[in-house]
Amino acid sequence: MDNTKGKIGIREFLAIILITIGTKVTDNTPTSLFDKVGSAAWITVILMGLFSFIPIYLLTKLIIAYEDQNLIDIIFRLLGKYIGFFVIFLLWTTETYSIVINSATYADIIETMYFVKTPLFFTYIVLIGVAAYGAKKGLEFIGSAAWVSLIGLNIALFVVLILSILQGRFNYVYPILGNGIPEIMKESAMNASILGEFLYLGFIVTSLRSTNVYKKGIWIGFIYVTTVYMLALISYIMLFDYVSIVNLNYPFHETIRFIQLGFLTNVESLFLPFWLVASFLRFSFYLYISALLFGALFKIKQFNYLVPSIAILIVFLGLIPEAPVFTLINLRENFAYLTTPIFLFLPLILWITAKLKGELKK
């Protein structure tokens, strides 16, 4: 009687994209951009979008060409058993590593901004615990939960954006080009992996109702995420100016501390739950992907049983950095530089191989 068969539709897929990738704007990802290019950070986002356009386009092409196969199958098929294994392993490592850094950052946000007295360990455990529960349940339910909460999350986000734009100063946007065009070009190329998570969405294609869902979802999500990202960066700069924003580690959370909502002067706790829901779902999805990749590497069919082990591993790795406020941002920056080539060139390599093998003509 179950007529969904575990497949997710366009709404759920879109919700996953918006929540997993859109939430990035609320952590310390923007900080490094502001650091390097000053007030022109929002232009970098547009350029990043343009840079990422090509790999995402090629990826979509590939996935549409190989219907009923997800990115893992495609990689194995095009690159062979051994190179394929290596590539997937590389992707799994980077993915898991990014969960470690991101979750450590998020736990740190919760600890430094909201629960100052609570030991980091407990916040971290709860954060990953909930995420692991979701990941264990499966993609279908992460998608459904994401869709149900999406409307609320978006309303909250736009309230923040509108309030901060209203309460910010337009003059602060200048100088428009920040630290100069060369710097903008360099940074946007090097940080393109901020949108690199679109690559991971290729792994769940077989769980979607059709490749059409994938195509539509990817593009709508891509445009939406880039726009929101840009708007958020503009609103941060309008609120704090480029000098002080460099010193803020978590601009989103400083923003919701800064803005006022009518008679409520401190609204950060009002927006905290929405941000938390998004974060939980985000890590659920990442954990799911991590388990999926690991399962694909070592031929484990019921990979959702791997989730608890991976989650525990992540907690212990994430607790290693001391003084996370300083360490994590460096780690993240280096990570972004390292993964950008993978994100930019892997789809290209795959596409060229497919072309050479003559499999795209079908």
Of positions 49, 134, 295, 318, contacts other proteins by CB under 8 A: 134
Euclidean distance between CA atoms 318 and 106, whole angstroms? 10
In terms of Cβ atoms closer than 10 Å to its own Cβ (0-12, 13-18, 19+), residue 327 is middle
What token pair was written down for 287? 């954990």
For position 11 contacting other proteins by CB under 8 A, the verdict is yes
Which is nearer to other proteins, 127 or 237 (by Cβ)?
127
Which is nearer to other proteins, 31 or 304 (by Cβ)?
304
Nearest distance from C-beta of residue 301 to other proteins, angstroms:
8
Nearest distance from C-beta of residue 264 to other proteins, angstroms:
7
In DSSP notation, 197-240 reads GGGGGGGGGGGBS-HHHHHHHHHHHHHHHHHHHHHHHHHHHHHH
Residue 8, strand partner residues: 208
For position 308 contacting other proteins by CB under 8 A, the verdict is no
The region of 129-137, 216-224, 313-321, 342-350 touching other proteins under the rule CB under 8 A is: 129-137
Does the CA dihedral 310-337-30-157 come out positive or negative? negative
Of positions 147, 200, 240, 351, contacts other proteins by CB under 8 A: 147
Residue 79 CA from chain centroid, whole number: 26
Of positions 1, 176, 323, 362, contacts other proteins by CB under 8 A: 1
Nearest distance from C-beta of residue 158 to other proteins, angstroms:
20
Count the Cβ atoms, other than its own, within 10 Å of residue 317: 16
For position 140 contacting other proteins by CB under 8 A, the verdict is yes
Euclidean distance between CA atoms 197 and 238, whole angstroms? 28
For position 247 contacting other proteins by CB under 8 A, the verdict is no
Buried/exposed code over 267-285 (b: 16+ C-beta within 10 A; e: otherwise): bbeebbebbbbbbbbbbbb
Q: What is residue 112's DSSP assignment?
A: I
For position 152 contacting other proteins by CB under 8 A, the verdict is no
Nearest distance from C-beta of residue 138 to other proteins, angstroms:
8
| Contact track, other proteins, 259-288, x by CB under 8 A | ----xxxxxxxx-xx--xx--xx--x----
For position 305 contacting other proteins by CB under 8 A, the verdict is yes
Euclidean distance between CA atoms 219 and 322, whole angstroms? 39
# of chain residues touching other proteins (CB under 8 A) = 50
For position 149 contacting other proteins by CB under 8 A, the verdict is yes
Nearest distance from C-beta of residue 351 to other proteins, angstroms:
32
Which is nearer to other proteins, 124 or 236 (by Cβ)?
124
Which is nearer to other proteins, 22 or 30 (by Cβ)?
22
Mutual angle of helices 71-109 and 41-65, in 10-degree steps: 150
For position 121 contacting other proteins by CB under 8 A, the verdict is no
For position 114 contacting other proteins by CB under 8 A, the verdict is yes
Closest CA to 121 of 133, 136, 104: 104
Single-letter residue type at 81: K
Interface positions with other proteins (CB under 8 A) = 1-4, 7-9, 11-12, 110, 114-115, 118, 122-123, 126-127, 129-130, 133-134, 137-138, 140-145, 147-149, 263-270, 272-273, 276-277, 280-281, 284, 300, 302, 305
